[in-house]
Chains A and B, each alone.
Chain A
Amino acid sequence: MNVVVAMKQIPDLQQIRIRNRQPVLEDVPWTLGAIDKNALEAAVQIKEAQGGKVVLLSAGNEELEDTAKEALAAGADEALLIIDDELDKLGSAEVARILAAAIQRIEKVDLIIFGEGSGDNYSGQVGSRVAEILGLPQLGYASAIEVQEDSLRVSRSLEDGEELVELGLPAVVTVISGINEPRIASVTQILKAGKKPKEILEIGDLGLDLVDICPIKTESNLAPESDRKRVAVKTVDELVAALKGENLIGR
């Protein structure tokens, strides 16, 4: 069972500061999306049960080789990285085409797993777009994946219920964060990660024509204005008095 896991390189959101409502991205380290780590864990668990290999697929900027180490340490066997500083500016439609073209270069892919949404943009389109480009069946929001002989049984978690669905392989699945608890790599695994096989490509190597895409344009991107009172209260009595003053208690 060969599983491709697509993971997005994103700025570490914890470290983004806001100045004059603008996000400050300079010097913010890069990391991989949180739900993408659940996708990786799901792939590694399948490989451990079924054999085969896990290929990490990621497209990002020049820091990507470094960012990707974490995933190689946490169980991916090899990496296919598309490194191009243009990538920070590209939207879901372009990235989907790039990832799909890269997947077509990998021999015998049985399953492609994505996180349900990226950590930064949380748009949730890329998995579905890749499935369409490759002409594969798809299943989103998986909370459990069970591998049968040449098919999958997947639970899809919706707002109002769980669907148990069967689909043939190869297929595209996106997972929710509740599917598992991603493992933490050990020191030895981290040390070994640097030696795992990596193939590095540029967008140009994929022979794509990205002109026929309706691109997303950003007019503005600002932190919402907030004018909270920020009163420190010491005791519950003080708090109760404050809430009474706001007419929020004893209405």
Chain B
Amino acid sequence: MAGILIYSDKDNLALELLTVARLIADARGLEVKVACINNASQSNLLSAAGVRVYKIENPAVIPADVATVAAALKEASGQLDCSIVLLSSNRRGRELAGRLAQMLGAGCLTDISAVKVEGEQIHCQRNALGGATVATQYIDGDKQVLVIVPRAFTPASAQDGGSIVELAVEVLPSRVKLLEFRAKDSSSVDIEEAPVLVVVGQGLNSQEDLASVESLAKKLGGEVACSKPLATDKKWLPEDRVVGLSGKKCQPDLAVLLGISGQVQFTVGIRDAQVMVAVNSDENAYIHQIADYSMVADLHQVVKELNDALA
């Protein structure tokens, strides 16, 4: 039976893709099929979610070389009669998406945050113009690679009826050699889960000032996050704390934005917060226009006073 093929190297993301795939499959009368590449535990996990897993074991397929992964998925989608492939929009998934779409002659949309089947078309929402707008788009054609933002859908839960079958695919030898993988010492803090975020931007004077921001976040029952330059240019905080288009999309109950100008690539990651507070010394900063409560003030002074008030 014709199907939708899903693949992610990350277990939780593969389960999220399964949720999206079922939504499309139900509307279209298709069967959901999962490709698991050199990953026995993921095969078991997904089959326990009630889906047919195609287990690909081939040491020539290596994640560091997306060309090999794309070649394997192209073979799989052909053998399994799947013209729609779902991937996840993390860095690996996005890099893979373009290569696979080109191999398949498919259209491709990345960073999809919502999906709706409208007759023959699969309408997908994604940010456009750097996040200033949200576009609804679809691929006009049979061959589609749809790349879904992490956490936009709930992971599929356990369900009966799954199975695992082996699938043989041939790929050309890799031209990319992995020499070393260094795990990032992630802060083990997940800003997407925090009910309160205190988000600092380039208005912060120094790395030393982070201590008082941390303490404010704790008092508010939340975590510290930041704008991109604070992590990528100044390197004061790890990259997994970045809010925005290339960072994380967060929906806390409360977001306190300190020394942030409010450019779209940032605000796209925080505009779903329930309540937004902005502190910026420039009264013309755009962030004031999109806040519930805004203060034209020096953030360091405000942090100090808030820490005292909440002591």
Query: A-side interface residues toward B, CB under 8 Å?
Result: 11, 13-14, 16, 18, 23, 91-93, 96, 116-117, 119-129, 131-133, 137-141, 153, 156-168, 174, 176-178, 181, 212-224, 226, 228-234, 236-237, 239-240, 242-243, 246, 248-249, 251
- Chain A residues with CB below 8 A from B108, complex form: 92-93, 123, 125
What CA separation (Å) do A93 and B103 show in the bound complex?
A: 11
List the B residue with the shortest CB-CB distance to A248.
B254
Distance of A44 Cα from B46 Cα, bound (Å) = 46
In the bound assembly, the distance between CA atoms of A137 and B184 in angstroms comes to 25
User: B275–A248 contact, CB under 8 A?
Assistant: yes
A200 to B111 alpha-carbon distance, docked (Å): 33
For B, the interface residue count at a CB cutoff of 8 angstroms equals 87
Q: Which residues of chain A are within 8 angstroms of B143 by Cβ–Cβ distance?
A: 214
Contact between chains at B105 and A120 (CB < 8 Å): no
A158 touching B221 in the complex, CB below 8 Å, given contacts A167-B175, A177-B228:
no
A166 touches B275 (CB 8 A): no
Taking A23-B132, A131-B67 as contacts, is the C-beta distance between A249 and B310 under 8 angstroms?
yes
Q: Is B139 an interface residue (CB 8 A)?
A: yes
Which chain B residues border A242 with CB–CB below 8 Å? 293
12 additional contacts (CB under 8 A) given A139-B176, A165-B178: A18-B133, A125-B101, A156-B64, A158-B91, A159-B90, A178-B232, A220-B135, A223-B133, A226-B290, A228-B290, A236-B302, A236-B309
Using CB atoms and an 8 Å cutoff, list the residues of chain B in contact with chain A.
Answer: 64-67, 70, 90-92, 94-99, 101-103, 105-111, 121, 123, 127-130, 132-144, 175-184, 186, 196, 220-221, 228, 232-233, 239-240, 245-246, 253-254, 263-265, 271, 275-277, 288-296, 302, 305-306, 309-310
Q: Once A and B bind, how many residue pairs between them come within 8 Å at the CB atom?
A: 247
B110 touches A137 (CB 8 A): no
Question: CA separation between A138 and B102, bound complex, in Å?
Answer: 14
Q: Do residues A13 and B130 form an inter-chain contact, with CB atoms below 8 A?
A: yes
Distance between Cα atoms of A125 and B89 in the complex (Å): 11
Residues in chain A near residue B293, CB distance under 8 A = 229, 231, 233, 239, 242-243
Q: How far is the CA of A227 from the CA of B102 in the complex (A)?
A: 41
